[in-house]
Structure 1
Amino acid sequence: MKKMNYINNLIVILIVLLTEISNSIGDHRFGYNRPDQRRWSKKHNHCAGKMQSPIALSTSRAIPIPMPAIEFVGYHNLLPAPLKLVNNGHTVILHIPRLTDTEIEMGEFLPFIYGGKLEGHYEIESLHFHWGDKNNRGAEHLINDIRYAMEMHIVHRNKKYASLGEALEYSDGVAVLGFFYALDENEGEQLHQIVKNLNKIPNPEDFTLLNSTFALSSLFANIDDNRFYTYRGSLTTPPCSEAVTWVLFPDPIPISTSQISKFRHLHSSLEGSVLVDNFRSVQPIGNRRIFLRKINIKNTPNTLIDNDIHYSKWDWLY
C-alpha cells in the first residue's frame, strides 16, 4: 500500500511539473499575424501601453538636436567565446557569454555604449534579427515610409542593474541599437559569421557554438553611425516592457538575396511554419518626441532647434 501511495504521489508531482513546463513554454510562444499580435496584451498588459515599439520614423517629424555621438566602448574587441547562436522559434539570437569574476578582476569587460540621450552606461546582452518573407518587408521600424528587408537589434542593459530582468522594470533599463538591411547584389561581409551558421539551427531551440569570434563593430562596418534617431519605447515582443531607449541608425547595411534566403528557410515555433515576417506592426507614437542627431546644424531651420535648451533637458514626451 505504501509503495502504491508513493507511486501515486510521484505521478501527481510529475503531472504538476509537466503542467508548469507546458505553461512556461506557452507563455513564450506567440504569433506574429495580426490577430495573434492583438492577443499579446491579454497575457502581457504592457503590450497595450502608450509607449510601445516599433514606430514609423519620419525626418520631418523628428526634432533635430545637437547631442553627443554614441560611443562604442569595446566594440572593436573580439567578443568572449564561445558565442551561442540560437533559433528560439521567433528569431535568431546571438547570446554573449558573461565574464567570470576572475576575468573581471583582470580588467576585462564586455562591450558597452553611452552617449546620445542615454542615461548611463549600457552593457551588451545579446543581438537578434527581424526579417520578412518578401524583400519589401521585414524590418520593424519604418524610416520615412520605407520598410527595409531586415532589422538587427543589439540589446544592452543599464550597468546599474544586475540583470536584464531587473533592468526591464525601469524606464532607463535597456538600450537597443537598431540597424537596417537593404538588398544588394553583393554579399554583405558584415553578416558572414552569422549567415554561415544558420544551416546548423534549422528548428526551434536548435543552437550552435560558433567556432570563431568577432568584434561587434564588424556587424555594421562602413555605415554612418554619427546620425541616428532616438526615442523612448518598449520591447517589440511580449512582455513589451516599456523600458527601452531606442537608437536607430538609418544608413542601411547591405545583404544579398542569397544571405536573407537562409534566414527565410528556418522553422518557427508554430508547427509546420517557416520563420518569416517576425516583425510587429507599427505602434502609435502618441505624445512621444522623436529626436534626430544633427551633426551640422547650420542648415537646420531655427524654428526646429533651440540652442538655449541643452540636449539632456529635452523631455521624451510633449
Structure 2
Amino acid sequence: MHYLILTAALFAILQFVNGNFGYSPRHQHTWAKEHKHCSGEWQSPIALSSARAVPLPLPALEMISFHNLLSGPINVTNNGHSVALSIPKAHLEERLPHVFGALLNKGQNYEFEGLHFHWGMKNNRGSEHILNGVRYPMEMHIILRNVKYPKYDEAVQYKDGLTVLGIFFQLQEEDNEKFDPILRTLPNVQWVNSVVRMNASFTLASVIPEDTDIFYTYKGSLTTPPCNEAVVWIIFPTPVQISFRQMSKFRMLSNGEDVLADNYRRLQDIRNRKVYVRRLDSRHMNYEDAINLDIEQLEWIWR
C-alpha cells in the first residue's frame, strides 16, 4: 500500500514538473479538459498541401540579424517535452534577431524568444506539420514575439502575439556541422528538468534552410498546452539536412519516464482557414500581380 501511494505521488510530481501533459493518444485526448484553448477552431499543426494552398506573390519574410551570433548566454533545457534553447532577457547585450514582412501585420516586428524541436523515435515520423503527405523525422520551431507585447505570457493572449517559423529536417549520411554547437550540448541535458549553459555560439541562419523565398503561412495555435490561438505560422518547405548519427542524439534524451521522442501533436482540422504559399515564378503570377497585391485586404478564412 505504501509503495502504491509513493508511486502515485511521484507520478503526480512528474506530471506537475513536466507541465501536466503527455503525447500519447490517450494523453492528447485529455488536453482540452485542462486547457480549453486546445479544443479551439484554429489549432495547429495541420497538413499542408501545395495543391490546396493559395499561391500569391507575398512580401518576403525579412529576417534581421539572423546571421549574427546570438548574443548573451544561451540556456539549453530538457523540459520533459522537448529540448529548448532560450536567452535570459536579463543578460542581453544587444537586440535579438527579429522578423517582419510576409503576412505579419504591417509595421510590426517579432523578436526571437527561443526555439525547440519535435522528433520521432523512428525516421518516418517526428515533425508536427505534414507537407504533401510527408512527415519528416524532425521539425524545429523558432518562436518570435510581437514586440508590442513586452512579455511572452502577455503575447500569447493576442491573435497577433507570436509568429513561429517551422523548419523540417531531412536525413542524410553526412553530418551537418552547422548543428554541432547544439548537438554537443545534448548529452548534458539527458535527464528531465536539466538546464545547461551552451559553451558555443551559433547563428539562426545556420539552422534554417538556405532557400527561404518560398513559405507557407496560416493562422494557428501553439502545438502544446495551453494551445493559445496566437500564432501566425510560417513553414519553409525546403528541409535542413541532418545525419542519422546526429538524429540519434535527440533520441538519447529522457522525459523522466521513458525516451523523449514522438513529441508531436496529432494533426488538427484546418476547418475554414486559408493557407497561403509565397510563389513568385511566372507560372503562377507576374510582376504586375506582385505590385498590385493588397495584403492588408487578404483574409485568413474562407467565407
TM-score of the two chains, using structure 2 as the length reference: 0.90
Equivalence for 2:40? 49
Structure 2 partner of 1:317: 301
Structure 2 match to 1:157:
145
Contact 1:54 1:280 in 2 (8 A): yes
1:286 corresponds to 2:271: yes
Q: Measured at CA, do residues 124 and 32 of structure 1 come closer, stay the same or move farther in structure 2, by a change above 3 Å?
A: same
SS of residue matched to 2:207: helix
Report the equivalent of 1:254.
241
**Contact 1:66–1:311 under 8 Å retained in 2:** no
Size of the alignment, in residue pairs? 288
Match for residue 131 of structure 2 among 143, 147, 155: 143
Q: 4+ residue runs of structure 1 moved beyond 6 angstroms?
A: none
What per-residue deviation string (whole Å, max 9, x for no partner) do you get for residues 75-108 of structure 1? Answer: 111112311111000000001232568x4xxxx3
| Match among 283, 288, 293 for residue 299 of structure 1 | 283
Deviations 1:186-215, CA, capped at 9 Å, x for gaps: 111232111111111111111111112121
> Percentage identity across aligned positions?
45
**C-alpha contact (below 8 Å) 1:96/1:124 kept by paired residues:** no
Aligned partners of 1:253, 1:78: CA distance in 2, in Å?
A: 19
1:182 is aligned, of 165, 170, 175, to 170
Question: Is residue 52–residue 283 contact of structure 1 (8 Å, CA) maintained in 2?
Answer: yes
Aligned AA (2:251)? R
Contact 1:65 1:311 in 2 (8 A): no
Contact conserved, 1:190 with 1:220, CA < 8 A, in 2? Answer: no
2:30 is paired with a residue whose SS is: helix
| Alpha-carbon distance in 1 for matches of 2:203, 2:59 | 23
Q: 2:17 and 2:285 mapped to 1: Cα distance?
A: 52
Offset at residue 311 of structure 1 (A): 2.4
Q: How far did residue 27 of structure 1 move?
A: 7.6
Work out the CA distance in 2 between the residues paired with 1:128 and 1:292. 24
Matches within 5 A, 1:262-277: 262-269=249-256, 271=257, 273-277=258-262
1:89 corresponds to: 80
Deviations 1:282-309 (A, max 9, x none): 100000000000122x20179xx89865
- Does structure 1 residue 40 correspond to structure 2 residue 31? yes
Larger CA Rg, structure 1 vs 2:
1
Q: Which residue number in structure 2 is paired with residue 132 of structure 1?
A: 120
Structure 2: runs of 5 or more not aligned: 1-8
The answer on whether the counterparts of 1:132 and 1:150 sit within 8 Å (CA) in structure 2 is: yes
Q: CA deviation at 1:131?
A: 0.1
Counterparts of 2:37 and 2:238, CA distance in 1: 30
Match of 1:173 among 153, 156, 161: 161
Q: CA deviation at 1:74?
A: 1.1
In structure 1, which of residues 6, 17, 30 is the aligned counterpart of residue 21 of structure 2? 30
CA distance in 1, matches of 2:82, 2:133: 24
Q: 2-side partners of 1:44 and 1:313: how far apart?
A: 33
- Aligned equivalents of 1:23 and 1:184: distance in 2? 36
What letter is aligned with 1:265? M
| Distance of 2:52 and 2:295 partners within structure 1 | 17
Corresponding residue of 1:244: 231
RMSD over equivalenced CA pairs, Å: 2.1
Matched residue, 2:61: 70
Are the equivalent residues in 1 in contact too, given 2:141–2:164 (CA < 8 A)? yes
Matched-pair contact (CA < 8 Å) for 1:40–1:47: yes
TM-score, normalised with respect to structure 1: 0.86
Paired residues of 1:198 and 1:263 also in contact (CA < 8 A): yes
CA contact (8 A) 2:15 2:21 kept: no
Q: Deviation of residue 29 (structure 1)?
A: 2.4
2:57–2:285 contact (8 Å) kept in structure 1:
no
When residues 214 and 99 of structure 1 are mapped into structure 2, their CA distance, relative to the original with a 3 A threshold, is: farther
Residues of 1 paired with 2:95 and 2:291: CA distance? 37
